Structure 1
Amino acid sequence: MGSRRFGAADQALFDVVARRGADNAALIQGACQALIDGLDSPALRDLAGASVRDRPTDVHELVVAALAELDIPYPGTIVGPLARRPGVDVLRLDIGPADDGSFQVRVHVNGAEMTSAGAGLGMDPYDILIPTNRLVATAVPTRSPIARCGCGVYGCGSTDIAIVRDGDLVHWDWLLEMPMGRGVSFAAADYDAEVDRVARDHSWETPARTAGRLVLTDLDYDRLAAFGLKPSWVANHYRYPERFLVALTIRDDYQVFVTTPWRGRGPEELARAVHATLAAPPAKWNATWHPTRPALTGPPAIAGRSWRRERI
């Protein structure tokens, strides 16, 4: 990026392009408004003069060219705000149940609930708070999901945020399905306090959720990666709630399930039992496996004699 100072006009054009579902009409109107606001480049003029009947791919090429000429990052390639907005917005976060039986992190900005206004449903705490708090703001821009489709699947519908710390401010820019037409900015001290508060609040947790948090927080991820394993999810078995499952993947080839019975234990004791099991070599686990590619008919190479195939 160049040294030009970005302003409100740059931000407005960025926001139009970042909005999921922005069609030819919205992009052309955004270009016209950008010219009115004082921006100018050959591709921007071509975009403003395009027709709503033009092929979307042709309009997209003009959008990419216009942003490049104006030295504005394309949304999702370089995340973060373009203008230093005043920190007048207020953030509140809470965690509650979702209709599908899971939990969701709800995001409120200035008293308005953003997750339902975006993709529809807040993200599961495991996806943005545990084991790493992805809402923590740093001077290096980061990107985090903030809402998923009402069906519960991220990707079917998605709202992301670009987060960056800018001195005493924290900026969010909305990406994909945008709940409002502008980015938001918070006083950094207030933002940090709220993000830390929600990460420390475990009052909503069920015993299984407490066990899951403890398991995910203290896993030896590097050791598992040495065997090609990556944790996928943790939860009670949906049919046998007396069994706690850790699901792992081996690349795009296999799912692996490690079961630990509750046996009347509390979440802390169960988590210790899970960690003890996973600290042993995988060949010694009492695990099940399932291929995710039809061509695979045998168990993974790390399987032990006690491993059996999971019927899904």
Structure 2
Amino acid sequence: MAQLLGPAVDDPDPVGAAATLDRRLPQLGVRPDLVHHPLARLPLTNESAALALGRQLVRTASDPTALGAGIHLVGRLGGSEDVPQLTTLALLQGFLRPVVTALSALRCDTEVLIRLMDLLDPQDHGVVIDALASREDPAARRWLLNLPVGPGTTSSRAHHIALAVRLADLLQDESVDASVLAQGGRLLTRMALATGSPAEVLGYGPAIAVYEALVRRADRLPPTLDHHAILLSLALDLSSGASVLLDWPPGLREELLERLERLLGTPAWAAVPDGGHRHRDRYRADWIRRMRREPLDRTTPNGLRIHVVEHDPEIGGHVEARILLDGRPLVPRLFPAGHSPSPEHVLGQDLLRATPEERTVTLSTAECDEGCCGTLSVTVRRDGAHVVWHGPRQNGIGPQLPEHRFDAAAYHAEVDRARADDTWCRPARSTARLIQAGLGERPGLLARWGILQSWCRPAGPYEDTVEVDFWYGPGAGRDPVGDEAGQWVRLTWRLPDDGRRPGVRAAAALERIAATDPKTYSRVTGGNAE
């Protein structure tokens, strides 16, 4: 690579050098997004020639790697006159990140990046948002402060934005307005959520000050559905989420929780869920009612506590069973690479029940991969009047939980309470859980149709439709081996809400599966469609 690029960047004939790179770079098999690595190490003794080559490649290259080389050279050596051409290239698939890197290196106007957002698919916005958050620019900070925060906003991105807009300073201002308070609450909630990346709130230096400023000024927020959801999310985090692990001054977290509970319990705020009439508002109001089903726990209990939390539908509606030992959430404390398990996993299968026979339970798997960062597993067994947990480390990967002993009676009382409590569960999820449980209890229902496995879930946070996935392929009845795995298909059966109770809907679904092959009324949604 260096032998090819070195002469090219010094060639006084940019047209010829560009043609050579366009022809020969494909033979080296270098990815377009990686070509900047060897280029960055090259000494550019003739910068004007290198810039001319970069501009020629940007205009004429047909090979993606050659185009990537041109973008890097122009970003490294070009000027404001190159910005329009680069901005156009950002729309080409696979070139957004190198183009934004080049535009940032050229110190293009913030308005250029903001306008680029309007041209991109929302799933690509993150690259530009990160670039804007890296700018020391009041215009960028103003734009970021009004940026919608939703399911696509990762914990790390929320952290980046909070630092960029100087959220802690904004909230300490006595004149801070309601819109800034609300946005601060959204960002803090996303930082505390570990889905796809660790809970960044634990690495956010001013987190405690931001929580305190938000909660002490929360009464400035008008009592709307959105504001109620923000404050409730903050309270759930302070009760059992990763934020519990912050280095709180004695009594402060409990005081903030008490303030939130008192505010949300006032007549004006308590009546907010009753005013949700639009489709999405009704779902969000129902979520508020479910999550306000019991007082927010401000104590630090000894032993085991299981808190099932459903997150705001506006940020995806993810449901997790938070496991707390002596008042401290286990997964974010020991295994930030993962997230808390689903209640269906640990409660639906009764995995935490202790018997004299030792059982290993996986509580969390790393987002990257089990073989990369491992899992958080515990071994559970009954030892007389106690239940004992200890953490095996598999293949030397992942954390190891020190031995923890529980009073057996209190431990099983908490497991029984959590298993019996389904007040957190919305109807579509209840239907899905009952179908899944029924299929597990009657494995012959699927085996007779040659279906290996299934999974049931609500279709989305704002839907009452239930989706049932079936996996079917050669060698059905056993796990596929070798080439068989690539021939399997995923079939999905959608069950729209018909107004009946979850138990009735689930029973009807199981009866249909028993009577009629699901392959005749499901559609292919994945795997090998041939």
TM-score past 0.5 threshold:
yes
Supply the distance in 2 between the matched residues of 1:249 and 1:229 (Cα, whole angstroms): 6
Note the residue ranges of structure 2 that are not aligned, 5 or more in a row: 1-301, 473-478, 480-484
- 8 Å contact 1:114–1:179 — kept in the other structure? no
Supply the distance in 2 between the matched residues of 1:211 and 1:257 (Cα, whole angstroms): 16
- 8 Å contact 1:168–1:189 — kept in the other structure? yes
Alignment match of 1:143 (pick from 356, 360, 370): 360
- 8 Å contact 1:94–1:106 — kept in the other structure? yes
Alignment match of 1:112 (pick from 328, 333, 337): 328
Q: Which residue of 1 aligns with 2:509?
A: 274
Alignment match of 2:522 (pick from 269, 287, 291): 287
Q: 1:207 to 1:246 in 2, by over 3 A?
A: same
Range with bigger deviation, 197-206 or 237-246: 237-246
Alignment match of 1:211 (pick from 431, 434, 439): 431
Supply the distance in 2 between the matched residues of 1:205 and 1:268 (Cα, whole angstroms): 13
Cα deviation for residue 201 of structure 1 reads 0.6
| Sequence identity (%) | 25
- 8 Å contact 1:277–1:285 — kept in the other structure? no
**Per-residue Cα deviation, 1:108-154 (whole angstroms, up to 9, x for no partner):** 11121112113342101122222x211111122111121344x5987
- 8 Å contact 2:433–2:457 — kept in the other structure? no
- 8 Å contact 1:169–1:185 — kept in the other structure? yes
- 8 Å contact 1:119–1:157 — kept in the other structure? no
Q: 1:140 to 1:241 in 2, by over 3 A?
A: same
Cα deviation for residue 262 of structure 1 reads 1.0
Cα deviation for residue 226 of structure 1 reads 3.9
Q: Does 1:223 align with 2:445?
A: yes
Range with bigger deviation, 136-145 or 193-202: 136-145
Supply the distance in 2 between the matched residues of 1:272 and 1:152 (Cα, whole angstroms): 37
Q: 1:124 to 1:284 in 2, by over 3 A?
A: closer
- 8 Å contact 1:169–1:188 — kept in the other structure? yes
Alignment match of 1:159 (pick from 376, 392, 402): 376
Structure with greater helix percent:
2
- 8 Å contact 2:471–2:491 — kept in the other structure? yes
Cα deviation for residue 203 of structure 1 reads 1.2
SS at match of 1:241: coil
- 8 Å contact 1:242–1:263 — kept in the other structure? no
Supply the distance in 2 between the matched residues of 1:135 and 1:124 (Cα, whole angstroms): 13
**Per-residue Cα deviation, 1:44-66 (whole angstroms, up to 9, x for no partner):** xxxxxxxxxxxxxxxxxxxxxxx
**Greater relative CO (CA pairs within 8 A, separation 6+):** 1
Supply the distance in 1 between the matched residues of 2:327 and 2:470 (Cα, whole angstroms): 39
**Per-residue Cα deviation, 1:135-186 (whole angstroms, up to 9, x for no partner):** 111122111121344x598776631111111222211112343375x21111
- 8 Å contact 1:117–1:179 — kept in the other structure? no
Alignment match of 2:455 (pick from 233, 236, 259): 233
Q: Quick one: which amino acid aligns to residue 399 of structure 2?
A: M
SS at match of 1:265: coil
Supply the distance in 1 between the matched residues of 2:374 and 2:390 (Cα, whole angstroms): 17
SS at match of 2:399: coil
Q: 1:143 to 1:111 in 2, by over 3 A?
A: same
Supply the distance in 1 between the matched residues of 2:425 and 2:461 (Cα, whole angstroms): 20
Supply the distance in 1 between the matched residues of 2:514 and 2:376 (Cα, whole angstroms): 37
- 8 Å contact 2:434–2:503 — kept in the other structure? yes
Supply the distance in 2 between the matched residues of 1:96 and 1:153 (Cα, whole angstroms): 24
SS at match of 2:391: strand
Structure with greater strand percent:
1
Q: 1:138 to 1:287 in 2, by over 3 A?
A: same
Note the residue ranges of structure 1 that are not aligned, 5 or more in a row: 1-88, 299-312
Range with bigger deviation, 247-256 or 119-128: 247-256
1:33-182 matched pairs, under 5 angstroms: 90-98=303-311, 100-120=316-336, 121-130=339-348, 132-149=349-366, 158-176=375-393, 177-178=398-399, 180=401, 182=402
Q: Does 1:260 align with 2:476?
A: no
Supply the distance in 2 between the matched residues of 1:187 and 1:287 (Cα, whole angstroms): 48
Q: Does 1:193 align with 2:384?
A: no
Cα deviation for residue 242 of structure 1 reads 4.6
Supply the distance in 2 between the matched residues of 1:95 and 1:240 (Cα, whole angstroms): 19
Q: Quick one: which amino acid aligns to residue 325 of structure 2?
A: V
How many residues are paired up? 204
Q: 1:283 to 1:267 in 2, by over 3 A?
A: closer
Q: Quick one: which amino acid aligns to residue 430 of structure 2?
A: T
- 8 Å contact 2:454–2:470 — kept in the other structure? yes
Supply the distance in 2 between the matched residues of 1:95 and 1:107 (Cα, whole angstroms): 9
Supply the distance in 1 between the matched residues of 2:363 and 2:519 (Cα, whole angstroms): 39
Cα deviation for residue 204 of structure 1 reads 0.6
Q: Quick one: which amino acid aligns to residue 380 of structure 2?
A: I
Report the TM-score when normalising by structure 1.
0.58
Q: 1:123 to 1:232 in 2, by over 3 A?
A: farther
Q: Quick one: which amino acid aligns to residue 343 of structure 2?
A: P
Q: Quick one: which amino acid aligns to residue 467 of structure 2?
A: L
SS at match of 2:320: strand
- 8 Å contact 1:164–1:171 — kept in the other structure? yes
Q: 1:240 to 1:187 in 2, by over 3 A?
A: closer
SS at match of 2:357: coil
Q: Which residue of 2 aligns with 1:16?
A: none
Alignment match of 1:249 (pick from 471, 476, 486): 471
**Per-residue Cα deviation, 1:57-106 (whole angstroms, up to 9, x for no partner):** xxxxxxxxxxxxxxxxxxxxxxxxxxxxxxxx611111002565211111
- 8 Å contact 1:259–1:286 — kept in the other structure? no
